[in-house]
Amino acid sequence: MQQRTKITIAVAVALHSMGALAQEQSSSLQRVEITGSRIRQVDVETSTPVTVMTQEQIQKTGLVTVGDIVNSLSSTGSPSFARGNALTSNREQGGQFPSLRGLGGHRLLVLVNGKRWTQTVSGYTDMSTIPSSLIDRVEISSDGGSSIYGSDAIAGVVNIILKKSMEGGQASAYVGQNELGDGKNKDYSLSYGTGNDKANLMFALSHTAQGAVWAKDREITRYGSGRVDRLSSNLGAGPWGRITAVDSKGASTAGTVGNKYLNHTGGYDGSGTGADSRNPANYHTYNDAVDEDKYNSSLQMHYLSPSRMTSIFVKGSVELPQSMRLTTTAMYADRFSSRVIAGYPLNSLTQSKYPVYIDKDNYYNPYGNQVAGAGKGQDLFFYRRTIEVPRGTDNTNRTLHIDATLEGELNVGSKTWNWDIGYNHSAIAGDTISTGNLNLINLKRALGPSFKNASGVVQCGTPANPIPLAECVPWDILGGPSAATPAALNYSMAETVLTYGSNINSATANITGEVYDLPAGAIGVATGLEYRTANGYDRPDMMQRNGFSTDLGGMPTTGSYNVKEAYVEVNVPLLKGMTMAELLSINVASRYSDYSNFGSTTNSKASFMWKPIKDLLVRGTYAQGFRAPTLNDTFGGGSQSYDSFLDPCDSAVGNASREPEVAARCAALGVPAGYRQRNQAGSPVTASTQNPYPSNSGAGNADIRPETSETRTVGLVYSPSWVNGLSLSLDWWDILIKNRIAGVSASQTLTFCYVDNVPTYCNKVRRDSSGAIVELNRGNTNLGAMHTRGIDFGLKYRFPRTQFGQFGLRSDTTYVNSWQTKSTNTADYVEYVGESGYSRFKNNSALDWSLGNWSANLGMRFYSRIDDKCPFKNPVVDCNMPDQRYSGGLGVNQLPSNYYFDLSVAYKFPWNARLMVGANNVFDKKPFLVYTAGTSSSSAVDSERPIDRFIWMRYNQSF
């Protein structure tokens, strides 16, 4: 203790002596705030690794939205929600939510000019709502930022810096499409600004549209597993009537009916005509090996869903007395997106709490009283896909953001301090309208008692108690599409509406300046306060809440919380201009947060910056972080979900088929020997398939706790003075997330139970006597830990100008050494790196050239090889490493690495215009099958990789 006191006194004396010797210095360089710190400084290289993309670099990529721009970085993984996830149903549909380090979009904090942007009730920020035409640059800090910015900055911070002002205007038009002619993208914007240093105003109008790509239009996406030679594995429930008897418990049984399917012409594309459905002789025994009796649902599904967005943005600034300035920003965006999937695979127990059978007194029942004879009829259990009306979901999202900041300067002695106070308001309101589902109340009446009246019209009810034609329309549901009438479909189909929204309001106050001069420079300090409130809701209509529709049932979500926060940051320059210490400084920061819904937390950060020589910068960071539970995590009402998975207990293609210990666990938990998982058509599966029975997912958890994280980084930046224009950077990073909040997937639940032997997850699965999973409960919880580490390498070089023009090279590479999770605090980690969505190596490189009015850019994207699962084992197909283990078990299909090249050429015209034309995936690299990508998609193709050569053009006109 005495020794520590002596050291403390010595340090204090040394600092005092250094301050006494310090001389006042001035600089004409402007101090700016760099993402990752609130202290204004001159150096753009800091102790925090920050990636910067300028407006010019963005336009050369041919990308349109901010989300596309961030998704293109080598440090991002697969986005949380993609346009290709046609089977994913959530309020985020149509938005863009990049996933830095692959840690999820909800662990990435998004700022605009240093201020929080809008968030959904699930904690996601839609980057597509930010107008790209007004962007000056995008800064991405990837070392965590909770000590400066608070919650959500575990993976890092994306700060979109808008132009401070504009003088004049610019109109821009962009069009692009795949070489096949689909996926048409458009972007039109008009921006204008006027003013001077005293006052300025600028606004922007923009309209962006991303066109649909249908799965049926390409051979590789036309089938769910991508292989026409494995056709049966692609097919689901057919569009013609399939019938069985009903047992005493209301389940399907052969009984005296058998398992029959209506005779029909045509094949698995739903074409053809059905026979008379009232005649029992017009049915044959159903055989799941007969492809013509099933349906290829990919024929009706989006591969990439379309969306469009229109936004208006206004920003103004005015100088006030006493060196003050008022800046305001307002943005309103209206986004519409839609998705289409195949008609509903209906059966009598689609909603087990509201079963629907074909009544024994129904006119169209081939085994009913009106066919078999009075008193001899029986109710029928039925299966039928309603391809006449594909399911569609239209999502309209309206986003509003308003902020105002009053800033100024304050002289404290000889020091000038900068202060600001601000108010932010962000609001999201939207609705989703779903069509193509069945109104089970009306369907029950349409399939209930009916008869042919005296006019020869089939009518609901009985001759003694007829139901007026205007109140009920009978449906010959077994007759298939050829027997369906518009009136019957209109009567039995449902339109459901869900409304949702969220509001975030915050008041902030910050002050930053210098407190003391040392020989190496001044000690910089920043401190501030923030008060933030958040509330949100998600309200299904009564049909969905009560399970009276085939649409996904759910309960409402309503919740709110508030948080009070304070932070302080200190930057201390220790040495400067000395041998092996051209610069040495340390930075420490800490933020205290007090949440109304779970309590308080303090998160701190320490970093250093050292220049042993002028050309070399060494930097490092240790940062604590946290992510507060979102409104949906805590207050979520939950909903049904038709999950896709491959049951580990399947005796032919599941883990049990090749891992004796898994087979033993399955048997011990009651799974019968020889069990086969079956799809909606009743066929044994060969790959991950959508379960015919809904799961219960997403229920909130009032006991959920915040995530905590630790981030470590060490890096180098080398800019050799003997090579002008060259800069090299190398940063090692390590992120550990504890107490992670996660929505457990169906596949994870089954893997944790049967493969990883975690008994708590086995209680969430219920099977029937055949072994089929008829109930699976999964929600949000604190789920063990997540750990990833790797290296970022950056290279920038501006070649000496020659008579052939100016060349420049940029290259960013991310190497992920590990990406792993564990399901509980005591479980073993499961490694995912090198699998789909978790590339070990990613590289983005670009070669720029300019000469006079001409310029060009050649970009390259590299993805290292990945280990995919083996989809077919009997016989072995697409399985080149059957004995290799991956996160989901045994059997790997290793896919090769991929390069994609992008080319653009631009020309500046004398009338202040610029024309750019380009092609992404210029060599038309074709996709390959990725079976782990197909769980929420129409196809076994990674929708984040190019499907085709994409050709685009942009015209900018300044005035």
Half-sphere exposure of residue 880: CA atoms within 13 angstroms, side-chain side? 7
Of all residues in the chain, what percent carry a pLDDT higher than 70? 95
Given a contact cutoff of 8 angstroms between Cβ atoms, the answer to whether 345 and 305 are in contact is: no
What does the pLDDT look like over 873-889, one tens digit per residue? 666 778 888 888 888 88
Cβ burial of 63 (10 Å; 0-12, 13-18, 19+) is buried
User: Does 348 score more than 70 pLDDT?
Assistant: yes
Residue 43 pLDDT class (50, 70, 90 cuts): low
pLDDT given at position 840:
95
Of all residues in the chain, what percent carry a pLDDT higher than 90? 63
pLDDT given at position 704:
86
Average pLDDT over every residue of 939-945: 86
Tokens for 933?
A: 């990508």
Domains of the chain, residue spans = 231-298+347-387+440-483
Residue 19 pLDDT class (50, 70, 90 cuts): very low
User: Does 664 score more than 90 pLDDT?
Assistant: yes
Residue whose structure tokens are 């967005």: 309
In the chain, the largest separation of any two C-alpha atoms, in whole Å, equals 111
Average pLDDT over every residue of 294-320: 94
What does the pLDDT look like over 71-129, one tens digit per residue? 888 898 888 777 887 777 777 877 888 899 999 989 999 998 888 888 888 888 888 88
Average pLDDT over every residue of 57-79: 82
Average pLDDT over every residue of 556-569: 94
H-only helix segments in 631-752: 631-635, 660-668, 746-750
Given a contact cutoff of 8 angstroms between Cβ atoms, the answer to whether 40 and 33 are in contact is: yes
User: Does 418 score more than 70 pLDDT?
Assistant: yes
Tokens for 158?
A: 């994306």
Ranges assigned E (strand) in 260-375: 260-262, 283-285, 302-304, 307-320, 324-341, 345-347
Stronger pLDDT, 702 or 837, i.e. the higher one: 837
User: Does 453 score more than 60 pLDDT?
Assistant: yes
Stronger pLDDT, 941 or 479, i.e. the higher one: 479
User: Does 263 score more than 90 pLDDT?
Assistant: yes
Q: What is the distance between the alpha carbons of residues 712 and 708, in angstroms, rounded to a whole number? A: 14
User: Does 23 score more than 60 pLDDT?
Assistant: no
Tokens for 587?
A: 């930075």
What does the pLDDT look like over 375-410, one tens digit per residue? 899 999 999 999 999 999 999 999 999 999 999 999
Average pLDDT over every residue of 684-706: 81
Average pLDDT over every residue of 481-510: 95
Given a contact cutoff of 8 angstroms between Cβ atoms, the answer to whether 558 and 570 are in contact is: no
Residue 9 pLDDT class (50, 70, 90 cuts): very low
What does the pLDDT look like over 218-240, one tens digit per residue? 999 998 877 777 777 778 899 99
Residue 765 pLDDT class (50, 70, 90 cuts): very high
pLDDT given at position 33:
65
pLDDT given at position 10:
33
User: Does 753 score more than 90 pLDDT?
Assistant: yes
pLDDT given at position 6:
35
pLDDT given at position 330:
94
What does the pLDDT look like over 796-827, one tens digit per residue? 999 999 999 999 999 999 999 999 998 878 88
User: Does 939 score more than 90 pLDDT?
Assistant: no
User: Does 29 score more than 80 pLDDT?
Assistant: no
C-alpha to C-alpha distances, 307 to 55, 186, 207, 208, 343, nearest whole angstrom = 24, 11, 11, 8, 21
Looking at every residue in the chain, the average pLDDT score rounds to: 89
What does R_g of the chain's alpha carbons equal in angstroms?
A: 31
Average pLDDT over every residue of 462-486: 96
What does the pLDDT look like over 891-906, one tens digit per residue? 899 999 999 999 999 9
pLDDT given at position 44:
54
Q: Tell me the backbone φ, ψ of residue 609, rounded to 5 degrees.
A: -140, 125
Residue 28 pLDDT class (50, 70, 90 cuts): very low
Given a contact cutoff of 8 angstroms between Cβ atoms, the answer to whether 203 and 314 are in contact is: yes
Q: What is the distance between the alpha carbons of residues 648 and 754, in angstroms, rounded to a whole number? A: 7
Lowest mean pLDDT among 298-302, 370-374, 699-703: 699-703
What does the pLDDT look like over 518-538, one tens digit per residue? 999 999 999 999 999 999 999
> Rounded to two decimals, what is the model's pTM?
0.85
